[in-house]
Structure 1
């Protein structure tokens, strides 16, 4: 539905874009797209099939073949099914994130997932969270946001999130992984991580979730217009 309004929320790992996007979508009554989950799902499915992450042709086939389903809506994180298997917890690991970042650098994989992401654009509107939502997938979006935060704060957030889920991680290890992923995402040849020229940049360092949600909603004065 090309006429449905879109709010894109891009940013690096740990910037809070997933949480903020879900809450904003719930407040607006709009649909929500977690584009990163699609890349993570393909990376996970590739691992299940022992596909080498450097084998572009095999990964493209995997991107087309992998079935991804989202269960639940509203502000809570949805459960994610990959080929019929609830893989939500596995998809949120740093290993899955690293695999997603690796395959996201392959142009053919990005192309294979482009139409799938655009299909989420349905009335009454869509909040799309990712790294190239405002620059590549929905360049005509009516509103665009780019969230960021210091690397140290993003590592702290991920540490707290993963520890609450019982995942064994170290803060130093997470900081190294975040810095490495930032470098990969910013320097890849296709769709590098950067704000769209018409995006509003919000530094979330030191800001609470509610404050960020309100800042984003202020960009939509008619709440969906």
Structure 2
């Protein structure tokens, strides 16, 4: 019987970083749901389907299979059996993924594929609607958050390290605006599940958060 872990939370809370580290330590598969949306977007691009052509997109969705495997410790995203790791990380694919993820049929298809993956494998997934929609019966659910000011400071530091000019106040404003959109969107809004464990990482190091999540997972699954 596979074990499923769901991590939800707002933008900038460190979900992906934490999920990857927890997965590695527990030997679970980290399901990069964002990469799955990108693989779908790459399919639309290579088949010259316009992001505004809803009918063509909904028809194409039926022929797409996206899954994630691990080979030699590396995540491999497979689109209809083909490794597309080196083809889905550019700006064009990212923009297409953002434009097409709003279609209910795209989300419905990928949720079904994510659920299929979770049935046969010990997985950890992060996102906005994992515990509420994708894995409602997850063995352990977390809601990982941090104050908007802390999330803004983390993002500011990241951008400065990359040499990108940025304004801390504007970053925090953008984070607050995004929280508002995520929580009030029509399809699968960001929500705190009643059975989720709330973890506020505002004053915790990454290692402390990882250790806390692993402790809770082992406690709830009896170490299995």
TM-score tier (shorter): 0.7 to 0.9
Superposed displacement of residue 48, structure 1: 6.3
Q: 1:90 to 1:149 in 2, by over 3 A?
A: farther
Distance 2:47 2:182 in 1: 25
Q: Which stretch shifts more, 3-12 or 215-224?
A: 215-224
How many Å apart are 1:86 and its aligned residue? 0.7
Question: Matches of 1:154 and 1:54 in 2, distance apart?
Answer: 33
Q: Which residue of 2 aligns with 1:29?
A: 27
For structure 1, which runs of at least 5 residues remain unmatched after alignment?
none
Q: Residue 166 of structure 2 is aligned with which of 162, 166, 170?
A: 170
Larger radius of gyration: 2
Judged with a 3 Å threshold, the aligned counterparts in structure 2 of structure 1 residues 68 and 124 are, in CA distance, closer, same or farther, namely: closer
CA drift of 1:119 comes to 2.5
- Structure 2 length-normalised TM: 0.76
CA contact (8 A) 2:67 2:77 kept: yes
Residues 41-56 of structure 1 mapped to structure 2, 5 A cutoff = 41-43=39-41, 46=44, 51-56=49-54
What CA distance in whole angstroms lies between the structure 2 residues aligned with 1:148 and 1:31?
Answer: 22
Moved more, 144-153 or 167-176: 167-176
Alignment correspondent of 1:90:
90
**Residue 118 (structure 1) aligned to one of 115, 118, 122:** 115
Partner of 1:58: 56
Partner in structure 1 of residue 3 of structure 2: 5
Tell me the TM-score normalised to structure 1 length: 0.76
Structure 1 residue 87: deviation in Å?
4.0
- Cα RMSD of the aligned pairs, angstroms, is 3.4
Q: CA deviation at 1:128?
A: 1.3
Matched, 1:146 2:143: yes
Alignment pair present for 1:130 and 2:127: yes
Give the deviation of 1:191 after TM superposition: 1.0
